[in-house]
Structure 1
Amino acid sequence: PFQLLEIVRREEVVLRAVLTTHHHWDHARGNEELARLCPGLRVYGADERIGALTHKVAPNEELTFGAIHVRCLFTPCHTSGHMCYFMWEDGSPDAPALFSGTPTLLPRTPSPPHAPGANLPHPSVRLRVWGPPPLAQPRVTPQVMSILLHGDAAFAGQGIVYETFHLSDLPSYTTHGTVHVVVNNQIGFTTDPRMARSSPYPTDVARVVNAPIFHVNADDPEAVVYVCNVAAEWRSTFHKDVVVDLVCYRRNGHNEMDEPMFTQPLMYKQIRKQKPVLQKYAELLISQGVVNQPEYEEEIAKYDKICEEAHARSKDEKILHIKHWLDSPWPGFFTLDGQPRSMTCPSTGLNEEDLTHIGQVASSVPVEDFTSLSRILKTRGEMVKNRTVDWALAEYMAFGSLLKEGIHIRLSGQDVERGTFSHRHHVLHDQNVDKRTCIPMNHLWPNQAPYTVCNSSLSEYGVLGFELGFAMASPNALVLWEAQFGDFHNTAQCIIDQFICPGQAKWVRQNGIVLLLPHGMEGMGPEHSSARPERFLQMCNDDPDVFPKLDDFDVRQLYDCNWIVVNCSTPANFFHVLRRQILLPFRKPLIIFTPKSLLRHPEARSSFDDMLPGTHFLRVIPDSGPAAQNPANVKRVLFCTGKVYYDLTRERKARQMEADVAITRVEQLSPFPFDLLQKEAQKYPNAELVWCQEEHKNQGYYDYVKPRLRTTINRAKPVW
């Protein structure tokens, strides 16, 4: 409310009324504090007020909303709140397994409330099956098994299931078998199976990989246990996926609260007549003389006691410990309350000897009978001699240097081995022997970390989910996913929207995945041009109307943001941002809009001098030409990002306006570099400020940048 009132005052707007949200039995309403701060205003909304919202909620405070009693735990990371069964936590190795009694580590992964993301655990658990980093390839081990739990409607209806099945036997993605358990309650919310699928069974999608499918009556616990044992033995013996179709019913409505009689009256009349499974099985065992009624009641009482004791212990909890909600421990990263152990970033520069060595390896591997590739490698060698790098070589040097430091690197996506634009060439193919390849980057240093580069299937959703799972469980690995063209990330939108963007806010879960999205309006039409930067910037969590007051501004901003968005204009800055990503003392997703035409642009080159010790990633690159020498005479400052900078400098030179127009490059868009751009605006007191981009006005960066630039200059002048 205080920020809203500040905006009202600043914009000279009259506040006439306050709107509260509707009354609902399980929801608290907002804007009560605003109504209190503005006495006399008319309040629209429900008549009944919730007095508890007229003050700040303190840790461990107890509130009552109608029939609901709430006690507020102290949550250091201010999570957004989520239904408990969509959360996860790291399983204790001391917890006994249900049937065997053997101590079992049971890590669980998050699940979103809607069906599409239900298969994220599939790629996420794979890293568990592979083993801890720096293991670069999956291993077959009898001690680890991935189990996925599905609903029948989602298993049949969601394409992610099909995608992940097709990943199941690919060398760079296999788990060597996953046990899929489908809870087939024969309904999807309110939708009958005959409206939800065309196949006889919801599990028929598994036939695409010839996975065995076991259908079992869930009212027969012994049959369920037998079938699950057979499925586990199949997976252990043949290392292939297997499916258990658990045919059952849903006793209550959706989410345990919905009224099912509206849409399935006959079905639920029959369900109401059914005895619960526990009661049926107990009666069977009693009739067989296996147990008697007192023993059965004693077991029920034991379980009730466990639940009651856990509920009683929960009342003594004062703080939500972040480490309890990690699916894998991140040693050395966080204190108990989830704060980073450090807020400094080491230098990302590299000594010249290492740069030269990496460049020589990248350019000296002979490839017989292939003139085109030989020419590319020769060009790399000439750049190394001239102490310059282009985009591909800068990436090579960033990766190679991190491998020396023990950082496992994994790069995947469609055609990433060669690169969509034939610029990378990290896997060299023998021109005379089929399937004989060489990855020079795996032979840079003795005892280096492994480098994994793998062409993926033609899938964005499933593959990005896999890489996200890898990054979540591997904080000390640099995990990158590259879209063939930036436009194509839209088919992985669920992973981006539900996991990568809000993962820390929803699940107290950091991850350092890197998305490389080729972007530029010089593409082959509208389907190969835009990575939609406006979408990513719209999902950034910084406030456009507040100038942050922070110590260690650049690092602290990174820690507070939900993800980092950059658009580099130089190979050196690309080099630094890749190295910074893994050297930070915490993990945040990194979105990089990578160039296309700049890959071979003669001016898009960087000197070794920009990559030596003492250099670092530049959030903003100021103008260094004639305009910067006489800033008082500058009439216009153009702010831009990415490859449009080269178009602007060419046009400025053609019009002989180098002294009149300054061009400032914003390399890091989010978190927004308020501090550096404030200095730039103050440097040119007589200039008008203009944001320039090649995208349409309702696309690109304009809507994100303009209000933040106005905040930077305290709205002293317009931003065009």
Structure 2
Amino acid sequence: MGHFFPKHQCRGATGRRLPKPAALEPGRPVCRGPCAARGGRPAPQGCEVLIPALKTIIDKSSENGVDYVIMGMPHRGRLNVLANVIRKELEQIFCQFDSKLEAADEGSGDVKYHLGMYHRRINRVTDRNITLSLVANPSHLEAADPVVMGKTKAEQFYCGDTEGKKVMSILLHGDAAFAGQGIVYETFHLSDLPSYTTHGTVHVVVNNQIGFTTDPRMARSSPYPTDVARVVNAPIFHVNSDDPEAVMYVCKVAAEWRSTFHKDVVVDLVCYRRNGHNEMDEPMFTQPLMYKQIRKQKPVLQKYAELLVSQGVVNQPEYEEEISKYDKICEEAFARSKDEKILHIKHWLDSPWPGFFTLDGQPRSMSCPSTGLEEDVLTHIGNVASSVPVENFTIHGGLSRILKTRGEMVKNRTVDWALAEYMAFGSLLKEGIHIRLSGQDVERGTFSHRHHVLHDQNVDKKTCIPMNHLWPNQAPYTVCNSSLSEYGVLGFELGFAMASPNALVLWEAQFGDFHNTAQCIIDQFICPGQAKWVRQNGIVLLLPHGMEGMGPEHSSARPERFLQMCNDDPDVLPDLAEANFDISQLYDCNWVVVNCSTPGNFFHVLRRQILLPFRKPLIIFTPKSLLRHPEARTSFDEMLPGTHFQRVIPEDGPAAQNPGNVKRLLFCTGKVYYDLTRERKARDMVEQVAITRIEQLSPFPFDLLLQEVQKYPEAELAWCQEEHKNQGYYDYVKPRLRTTISRAKPVWYAGRDPAAAPATGNKKTHLTELQRLLDTAFDLDAFKKFS
């Protein structure tokens, strides 16, 4: 039959020859319905044994007490899993292939093989209820792995399943992706971390021994594609997929292992695919000898049927009758699907949020209450934040000074950045909102500002989280340092945020720059998730950002990338008279992008994230130097009932008192505001130059900026940023400002020149560039040569 492994891989560790594999492809178990409707049953295409394998794992797990299984898989074979494992209605599957049906849901939709599903049914083997969820995913084959883990962790958390006895996950993989994608390794290393473990996952690898057209000799350096699982000592069962009984035995053992030891386990289904990468592909181009042998193989169903007939277990007519029964089921469902008039992508949700929306999937209102708080609530949270709420606990001397400073701020009715965050979190916990903050070094904070976990200086592992001592019946606060991973951990937190709308889930990058190693999760799940899968998600990304002379890898969170992916039109001025215009904008956007310049506004935007009647991802460019900047303080007065998040903070100094005398109106966002105000004061130009801060960049605050421009009729308009011209916000803001004013005036630029790197690594160069942009911003003749 020839080698299905490279020659050096044909024998196991004991030297015993591995069984000859023979099953069919990872994702093409037979589905005869639509094909039969076209006039004939197709030949099986691969790894049909996957369906009974998954059913066996689920049945055995259900027998052991599991009542919720969350699954993730690539697209190959997805429809068959949906139909025959999860038992999604066949009519809905067939409807997805009817191009004449009109989609009822907003958004772009996605190809059929990427959609998810949530279904509760009776498990016929155990006669127990079981809920099955298949997470929607893009074509990035392993990107769903950490998402499934995060969703599983959340479901365990919310039902009090601390040992993973009720909720579990199953991940399906292809052999080439399992060996080749680094996210697999990242996910495995989350498997036993306290705040990330899901108490064991069953991994099923559909090993068809070829990745697109690349055979194993070119695809990996290890003997087996599953070797990556050895990093956590997971047991790995290699099984011949042409031996269904052996597969069922192994799957039962895998389910028992997970149930008993609550550790990961891997089932390697050694098989092959009968066709190439898809039905129309020609595999003989690249693997001629392999496919000459494959074409000689009988399909596994035929092999097993012949075995059973020879043993007298069934006879040929009984076998044919079973085949005909399933054909009839598919034919009847296909006929019923013709009665459908509209496609509903919401039928494919993997995480329904019952009670959060109305029956037709709409928000219960289009308004947001005040995000302010009573003063006694602010004071109480501040007092806890500045104390150690347990006895006989020794803290670090430096931390004592930090807590003392916090206490003084509370007495003075002011907050800095860390205290504003504390108050936002603490107040939401009081309202029953679970908060989970995850990322590298988030417990202390990368910049040693947060200190949400206190460590006893004399007793190992003795810690205190004051946030969990705020109120008698508060929701729990989870703050957890992650592994040194962005891709895996952000995927995990995204999955966690899927489970419930009544939780604030935040991921903080150590520096904003580092989100680029999680770009796949941002590009494929967070940015377009609602459009593709009609699934809202309220995850928050905290990305430290700011040009402070720290070099090209510790400066920019790349705001231009997030803004480029916003779905608003720069050339269309929306209806500014619309009721609740700001909320409608938020409802229509794909995500919210903010850069707060004050702790108070940061406080309000975090609370707004939960008080909104819908959920959108929130991207926050957080500061570094402003964490301790003496001017970056907010009074309690700006956080009391009746106050809100300010999308725009207008000029409120002398320039605003005599707007007709203002020569230049500078627009900016974030930290550069403090550089500008310092320079303006030094030049004695407080009456000639007004400075307006755009706190919410997307959706763009057209209404408030129009008021600002109209207030200063004689002023030049300029956008000032500390980022380089081809980065930052300029390319996003300029066309929208020009649309706001109907292009009545030019919008000038004051900032750094274009550059390939995000920032210089030389402190002196950094300061020179900063002074140059300040000179441009306040030189009232700077733009005349361009006029």
TM-score by length of 1: 0.88
Q: 1:251 to 1:128 in 2, by over 3 A?
A: farther
SS in structure 1 at match of 2:710: helix
* Equivalent residue number for residue 644 of structure 1: 672
Determine which of 348, 356, 360 is the counterpart of 2:371: 348
Give the whole-Å Cα distance in 2 for the aligned partners of 1:239 and 1:417: 27
* Equivalent residue number for residue 629 of structure 2: 601
Determine which of 115, 124, 128 is the counterpart of 1:87: 115
Give the whole-Å Cα distance in 1 for the aligned partners of 2:661 and 2:314: 95
Q: 1:368 to 1:336 in 2, by over 3 A?
A: closer
* Equivalent residue number for residue 423 of structure 2: 397
Q: Deviations over 1:79-110 (max 9, x none)?
A: 3232212110112x22546x656542111101
Task: Show the 5 A alignment for 1:184-583.
Answer: 184-365=207-388, 368=394, 370-549=396-575, 550-583=578-611
Task: Show the 5 A alignment for 1:45-194.
Answer: 70-77=99-106, 79-91=107-119, 93-94=120-121, 96=123, 102-127=128-153, 130-132=156-158, 139-194=162-217
* Equivalent residue number for residue 35 of structure 1: none
Segment of structure 1 superposing worse, 146-155 or 337-346: 337-346
Amino acid paired to 2:135: T
Give the whole-Å Cα distance in 2 for the aligned partners of 1:322 and 1:477: 24
Asked if the contact 1:111/1:121 (under 8 Å) is kept, the reply is no
Give the whole-Å Cα distance in 2 for the aligned partners of 1:121 and 1:294: 46
Amino acid paired to 2:285: F
Give the whole-Å Cα distance in 2 for the aligned partners of 1:247 and 1:105: 29
Q: 1:274: Cα distance to partner? A: 1.4
* Equivalent residue number for residue 682 of structure 1: 710
* Equivalent residue number for residue 46 of structure 2: none
Q: 1:141: Cα distance to partner? A: 4.1
Give the whole-Å Cα distance in 2 for the aligned partners of 1:72 and 1:321: 10
Amino acid paired to 1:74: A
Determine which of 588, 591, 595 is the counterpart of 2:619: 591
Q: 1:128 to 1:419 in 2, by over 3 A?
A: closer
Q: Deviations over 1:317-360 (max 9, x none)?
A: 23334542222220222234432222111211100000000000
SS in structure 2 at match of 1:148: strand
Asked if the contact 1:332/1:341 (under 8 Å) is kept, the reply is no
Q: Deviations over 1:487-506 (max 9, x none)?
A: 00011110000000000011
Segment of structure 1 superposing worse, 683-692 or 333-342: 333-342
Q: 1:131: Cα distance to partner? A: 4.3
Provide the identity percentage. 83
Which residues of structure 2 form unaligned runs of 5+? 1-96, 749-787
SS in structure 1 at match of 2:553: helix
Q: Deviations over 1:515-561 (max 9, x none)?
A: 00000011521111110000111111100001112431100000100
Q: 1:126: Cα distance to partner? A: 2.1
SS in structure 2 at match of 1:306: helix
Give the whole-Å Cα distance in 1 for the aligned partners of 2:142 and 2:133: 21
Segment of structure 1 superposing worse, 473-482 or 523-532: 523-532
Q: Deviations over 1:27-54 (max 9, x none)?
A: xxxxxxxxxxxxxxxxxxxxxxxxxxxx
Give the whole-Å Cα distance in 2 for the aligned partners of 1:385 and 1:405: 25
Asked if the contact 1:127/1:473 (under 8 Å) is kept, the reply is no
Amino acid paired to 1:166: H
SS in structure 1 at match of 2:203: strand
Give the whole-Å Cα distance in 2 for the aligned partners of 1:313 and 1:127: 38
SS in structure 2 at match of 1:527: coil
Determine which of 696, 700, 704 is the counterpart of 2:728: 700
Asked if the contact 1:394/1:575 (under 8 Å) is kept, the reply is yes
SS in structure 2 at match of 1:180: strand
Give the whole-Å Cα distance in 2 for the aligned partners of 1:305 and 1:601: 72
SS in structure 1 at match of 2:480: strand
Give the whole-Å Cα distance in 1 for the aligned partners of 2:395 and 2:345: 57
Give the whole-Å Cα distance in 2 for the aligned partners of 1:75 and 1:637: 45
Amino acid paired to 2:685: M
Give the whole-Å Cα distance in 2 for the aligned partners of 1:308 and 1:510: 35
Amino acid paired to 1:193: P
Q: 1:447 to 1:103 in 2, by over 3 A?
A: closer
Give the whole-Å Cα distance in 2 for the aligned partners of 1:695 and 1:239: 49
Asked if the contact 1:126/1:174 (under 8 Å) is kept, the reply is no
TM-score by length of 2: 0.80
Q: 1:100 to 1:270 in 2, by over 3 A?
A: farther
Give the whole-Å Cα distance in 2 for the aligned partners of 1:477 and 1:567: 22
Asked if the contact 1:485/1:531 (under 8 Å) is kept, the reply is yes
Asked if the contact 1:487/1:532 (under 8 Å) is kept, the reply is yes
Determine which of 613, 631, 639 is the counterpart of 2:641: 613
* Equivalent residue number for residue 55 of structure 1: none
Residues 1:655 and 2:678 are matched in the alignment: no
Asked if the contact 2:596/2:602 (under 8 Å) is kept, the reply is yes
Q: Deviations over 1:107-166 (max 9, x none)?
A: 110121132414244324423651436x5xx61243332110001011000001001111
Q: Supply the RMSD in Å over aligned alpha carbons.
A: 1.5
Q: Deviations over 1:419-443 (max 9, x none)?
A: 0000000000111111100000101
SS in structure 2 at match of 1:311: helix
Amino acid paired to 1:575: F
Give the whole-Å Cα distance in 2 for the aligned partners of 1:568 and 1:128: 29
Amino acid paired to 2:528: P
Give the whole-Å Cα distance in 2 for the aligned partners of 1:101 and 1:196: 44
SS in structure 2 at match of 1:579: helix
Q: 1:369 to 1:174 in 2, by over 3 A?
A: closer
Asked if the contact 1:470/1:479 (under 8 Å) is kept, the reply is yes
Segment of structure 1 superposing worse, 105-114 or 387-396: 105-114
Which residues of structure 1 form unaligned runs of 5+? 1-67
Q: 1:113 to 1:342 in 2, by over 3 A?
A: same
Q: 1:102 to 1:294 in 2, by over 3 A?
A: farther
Q: 1:471 to 1:390 in 2, by over 3 A?
A: same
Q: Deviations over 1:567-626 (max 9, x none)?
A: 000000000000000111111000000000000000000000000000000000000011
Give the whole-Å Cα distance in 2 for the aligned partners of 1:124 and 1:306: 36
Asked if the contact 2:590/2:617 (under 8 Å) is kept, the reply is yes
Q: 1:394 to 1:173 in 2, by over 3 A?
A: same
* Equivalent residue number for residue 753 of structure 2: none
Segment of structure 1 superposing worse, 406-415 or 276-285: 276-285
